[in-house]
Amino acid sequence: MAANGDSQTVSEYIVHHLTNLTYGKLPGGYERYDGTIVAEGGQWTMAHGADEITAMGFNAIHVDSMIWSVGLGLLFCWLFRRVAVRATSGVPSGLVNFVEMVVEFVDGTVKDTFHGRNPLIAPLALTIFVWVFLMNLMDLIPVDLIPHSLMLAGVEYQKIVPSTDPNITMGMAIGVFVLMLFYSIKVKGFGFVKELTLNPFNHPLFIPVNLFMEVVGLLAKPFSLGLRLFGNMYAGEMIFILIAALFSVGLFWLLPAALLQIGWAIFHILVITLQAFIFMVLTIVYLSMAHEDH
């Protein structure tokens, strides 16, 4: 930031932007940033700095990610519920039209890809598409606007794009993975075991090899799903931050940085939509594969 460029290096600026607002449990005996020692048995507190977050390990929660993610999810539910209440078979208008367009688009994608009959798939795809899109959309808000405002209000860290948090993307991917396992077992029963053990080499001798390959293939699905979204959004966010850091380099960089900012933002409109769409389509494809009996 240009405002406090004197007291903050560029790398500090970037790291600050990539640190979540975290609430967690510090282990006993840990020395905090101000030199105090955490009492025996640990202590639940707001983390101060990346080191403390690392020390908290799994017993921590990214408050900013959760608030933005749940908030955007609630926004989706509220918006679509409002339309659902008003939906009639008469002539639609305004917001209803827009929501129906989204619903029809998702429905068309589901029907193209998923050939079984499952009332869960379409609502699932709709939720994923709109929710992920909204989370990605936060990327287009200027990187300093909300974090800096909140910092002035006393909140130290703030990451407003939930999909740049691997916990968020993997949380959804794991949800999809659980559904994949559930429907694989429900639809195929014992056939699912056969699929894991007798593919691609259909011989009892090869069962360990098959099992290894199939399990790796199976586990790769949620990881590719969650990490693809995370990677894309994280990289996009990183470039926004780097461009923002350019502003503090010198007056000469103001105009190029501004142009870069606009250019990348326009390009990012495509990226965020595409990533939301890919997440949705892959979910449908994976669940479709879970339903197909070979």
Q: Does 56 bind other proteins (CB under 8 A)?
A: yes
Of 3, 37, 39, 70, which lies in the binding site for other proteins, with binding defined by CB under 8 A? 70
The answer to whether 28 touches 39, Cβ cutoff 8 Å, is: yes
Q: Please say if 232 is a catalytic residue.
A: yes
Region from 38-46, 82-90, 197-205, 257-265 binding other proteins, contact rule CB under 8 A: 82-90
In DSSP notation, the chain reads: --TTTTT--HHHHHHHHT---EEEEEPTT-B-TTSPBPPTT-EEEE--SHHHHHHHTTSEEEHHHHHHHHHHHHHHHHHHHHHHHH--SS---THHHHHHHHHHHHHHHHHHH--S--TTHHHHHHHHHHHHHHHHHGGGS-TTHHHHHHHHTT-------GGGSHHHHHHHHHHHHHHHHHHHHHHHTHHHHHHHHSSSS-SGGGHHHHHHHHHHHHHHHHHHHHHHHHHHHHHHHHHHHHHHHHTTT-GGGHHHHHHHHHHHHHHHHHHHHHHHHHHHHHHHHHHHHHH---
Q: Does 232 bind other proteins (CB under 8 A)?
A: no
Cβ neighbors of 231 (< 8 A, separation 6 or more) are none
Beta carbon nearer to other proteins, 113 or 167:
167
Region from 114-122, 195-203, 237-245, 268-276 binding other proteins, contact rule CB under 8 A: 114-122
Amino acid at 233: M
Shortest distance, position 276 Cβ to other proteins, whole Å = 14
Shortest distance, position 223 Cβ to other proteins, whole Å = 12
Of 141, 174, 181, 278, which lies in the binding site for other proteins, with binding defined by CB under 8 A? 174
Q: Please say if 210 is a catalytic residue.
A: no
Q: Please say if 81 is a catalytic residue.
A: no
Q: Does 88 bind other proteins (CB under 8 A)?
A: yes
Of 3, 39, 84, 274, which lies in the binding site for other proteins, with binding defined by CB under 8 A? 84
Site string for other proteins, 132-171 (x = CB under 8 A): ---------------------------------xxxx-xx
Shortest distance, position 198 Cβ to other proteins, whole Å = 32
| Distance from the Cα of residue 114 to its chain's centroid | 24
Of 1, 38, 124, 284, which lies in the binding site for other proteins, with binding defined by CB under 8 A? 124
Region from 118-126, 186-194, 199-207, 244-252 binding other proteins, contact rule CB under 8 A: 118-126
Binding site for other proteins (CB under 8 A): 20, 22, 24, 53-54, 56-62, 65-66, 69-70, 73, 76-77, 80-81, 83-85, 87-90, 92, 99-100, 103-104, 107, 119-120, 122-124, 126-127, 131, 165-168, 170-172, 174-175
Query: Active-site residue numbers?
Result: 224, 228, 232
